[in-house]
A and B are shown apart, each in its own frame.
Chain A
Amino acid sequence: MPLLELKDVRTEIRLKRSTVHALDGVNLSIEAGQTLGVVGESGCGKTMTAMSIMRLLPNGGAVTGGEILLEGRDLLPLSDAEMAKVRGNDIGMIFQDPMTSLNPTMSVGRQISESVRIHKGYDKKQAHERAVEMLSFVGMPSPQRRALDYPHQLSGGMRQRAMIAMALANEPKLLIADEPTTALDVTVQKQILGLIDSIKERLGMAVILVTHDLGVIAGRADKIAVMYAGRVVETTNTETLYANPRHPYTEALFDSLPERGAESGTKLYSIPGLPPDLTKPPAGCRFAARCRYAQPSCREQDPQLTGETSEHQYACFFPVGEVERSAKAVPVTLTEETSAEAIPQSRIGEPLLTVRNLVKEYPITAGAVLRRKIGAVSAVADVSFTIYQGETLGLVGESGCGKTTVGKLLVGLEDATGGEIGYGGRDLAADRHARGAVRREIQLMFQDSYAAMNPRMRVRSVLREPLDIQKVGDKASRDKRIAELFDQVGLPRTALERYPHEFSGGQRQRVGLARALTLAPKLIVADEPVSALDVSIQSQVLNLMKDLQVEFGLSYLFISHDLSVVRYLSDRIGVMYLGKLVEIGPAESVYANPVHHYTRGLLDTIPVADPAVEKAKEDKGIVGELPSAIDPPSGCRFRTRCPAAQSLCAEQEPPLVEFGTNGHLAACHFPLRRFDGDAGEPAAVGEVVLPSQPDAIDDATESATA
Chain B
Amino acid sequence: MTAYIVRRTLQAVLTVILVSIITFGLLHLLPGGMVRGLLGTHANPQSIAQLSAQMGLNRPLFMQYLSWFGNFLHGDFGWDYFKQQSVGSLIQGTIGQSMYIVGLSLVLSVLISIPIGVLQAVRRNTLLDHTLTFVSFVLWGIPTFLIAFLMLDLFVDQLGWIPTSNEIASFHDALTQPQAIILPVACLTLTSFAGYSRYLRSSVLDELTQEYVRTAIAKGAGRRRVLYGHVLRNAMIPMITLIGLSLPALVGGAVIIENVFNIQGIGLLTTQAALTNDFGVTLAITMLTAALTVLGSLIADLSYAILDPRVRLD
> Is residue B75 contacting chain A, with contact meaning CB distance below 8 A?
no
Task: Find out whether the CB atom of A166 lies under 8 angstroms from the CB atom of B219.
Answer: yes
User: Could you say which residues of chain A place their CB within 8 Å of the CB of B222?
Assistant: 81, 84, 118
Instruction: List residues 197-251 of chain B with CB under 8 A from any CB of chain A.
Output: 210-212, 214-223, 225, 229-230, 233-234, 237
Q: Smallest distance from the beta carbon of B238 to chain A beta carbons, Å?
A: 12
A113 CB to closest chain B CB (Å) equals 11
Expressed in whole angstroms, the minimum distance between the Cβ of B212 and any Cβ of chain A is 4
Contact of A87 among B4, B220, B223, B229 (CB under 8 A): B220
Chain B residues closer than 8 Å to A100, beta-carbon distance: 210-212
In the complex, chain A residues whose CB is within 8 Å of the CB of B212 = 100-104
Given contacts A81-B222, A95-B211, A166-B219, 11 further A-B contacts (CB under 8 A): A54-B218, A87-B217, A87-B220, A92-B218, A95-B215, A105-B233, A105-B307, A114-B219, A152-B310, A153-B309, A369-B10
CA distance A86 to B237 in the complex (A): 32
Are B4 and A101 in contact, CB atoms less than 8 angstroms apart?
A: no
Q: How many residues of A contact B (CB 8 A)?
A: 35
B59 close to A (CB within 8 Å):
no
Q: Decide if B3 touches A104 in the complex (CB within 8 Å).
A: no
Check B308 against A368 for contact (C-beta < 8 Å): no
On whether A105 and B225 interact (CB within 8 A), knowing A95-B215, A366-B3, A368-B4, the answer reads: no
Q: Would you list which residues of chain A between 142 and 169 have a CB under 8 Å from chain B?
A: 150, 152-153, 163, 166-167
Chain B residues whose C-beta falls within 8 Å of the C-beta of A167 in the assembled complex: 218-219
Chain B residues with CB under 8 Å of A367's CB are: 3
Residues of B within 8 A of A625 (CB): none
Residues of B within 8 A of A124 (CB): none
Asked if residues A84 and B220 are in contact (CB atoms below 8 Å), the reply is yes
Closest A residue to B307 by beta carbon equals: A105
**Is A118 in contact with B309, judged by CB distance below 8 angstroms?**
no
Question: Which of A80, A97, A101 has the most B CB atoms < 10 Å from its CB?
Answer: A101
* Minimum Cβ distance to chain B for residue A382 (Å): 30
**Which residues of A pack against B, CB within 8 Å?**
54, 56, 80-81, 84-89, 92-93, 95, 97, 100-106, 114-115, 118-119, 150, 152-153, 163, 166-167, 366-369
A152–B309 CB distance below 8 A:
yes
In the assembled complex, the CB of A356 is this many whole angstroms from the nearest CB of chain B, namely: 36
A118, B307: Cα distance in complex, Å = 24
- Taking a contact as CB atoms under 8 Å apart, the answer to whether B6 and A368 are in contact is yes
Is the Cβ of B218 less than 8 Å from the Cβ of A93? yes
What is the bound-complex CA distance between A369 and B308, given in angstroms? 24
Query: Measured between alpha carbons, how far is A81 from B215 in the docked complex, in Å?
Result: 16
Are B7 and A85 in contact (CB-based, < 8 A)?
Answer: no
In the bound complex, how far is the Cα of B220 from the Cα of A369, in angstroms?
49
Chain A contact residues: helix, strand, loop or mixed:
mixed
The answer to whether B220 and A88 touch across the interface, beta carbons within 8 angstroms, is: yes
Give 30 pairs: A residue, B residue, CB < 8 Å, sorted on A.
A54-B218, A56-B217, A84-B217, A84-B222, A87-B217, A87-B218, A88-B219, A88-B220, A95-B218, A97-B211, A100-B210, A101-B212, A103-B215, A103-B216, A104-B308, A104-B309, A105-B233, A105-B307, A114-B225, A114-B229, A118-B220, A118-B221, A119-B220, A153-B309, A167-B219, A366-B314, A367-B3, A368-B2, A368-B3, A368-B6
Asked if A85 and B218 make an inter-chain contact with CB atoms under 8 angstroms apart, the answer reads: no
Q: What residue of chain B has the Cβ atom nearest to residue A110's Cβ? A: B229
Q: How many pairs of residues, A versus B, come closer than 8 Å at their CB atoms?
A: 90
Tell me whether B215 and A102 are in contact (CB under 8 A).
yes
**Chain A residues, Cβ within 8 Å of B210:** 100
B-chain residues with CB within 8 Å of residue A93 when the two chains form the complex: 218
Known A-B contacts A105-B233, A152-B309, A369-B10; A95 and B214 likewise in contact (beta carbons under 8 Å): yes
Residues in chain B near residue A103, CB distance under 8 A: 212, 215-216, 230, 234
Q: A54 to B221, alpha carbons, bound, how many Å? A: 13
Residues of chain B touching chain A, judged by Cβ–Cβ distance below 8 Å, are 2-4, 6-7, 10, 210-212, 214-223, 225, 229-230, 233-234, 237, 307-310, 314
Chain A residues contacting B229 (CB-CB under 8 Å) are 114
Query: How far, in Å, is B297 (CB) from chain A's closest CB?
Result: 18
Chain A residues near B308 (CB-CB < 8 A): 104-105
- B234, A105: Cβ atoms under 8 Å? yes
How far in angstroms is the closest Cβ of chain B from A474?
47
Q: Please give me the residue from chain B that is nearest to A106 by CB atom.
A: B230
* Known interface pairs A87-B220, A115-B220; A101-B215 also in contact (CB < 8 Å): yes
Asked if residues B211 and A101 are in contact (CB atoms below 8 Å), the reply is yes
8 nearest interchain CB pairs?
A: A88-B220, A88-B219, A368-B3, A150-B309, A87-B220, A100-B211, A103-B212, A93-B218
User: Chain B residues near A366 (CB, 8 Å)?
Assistant: 3, 314
Q: How far is the CB of A504 from chain B (nearest CB, A)?
A: 23
A602 to B5, CA, bound (A): 46
Chain A CB within 10 Å, residue with most, of B6, B219, B237 = B219
A56–B214 CB distance below 8 A: yes
Nearest Cβ distance between residue B307 and chain A, in whole angstroms? 7
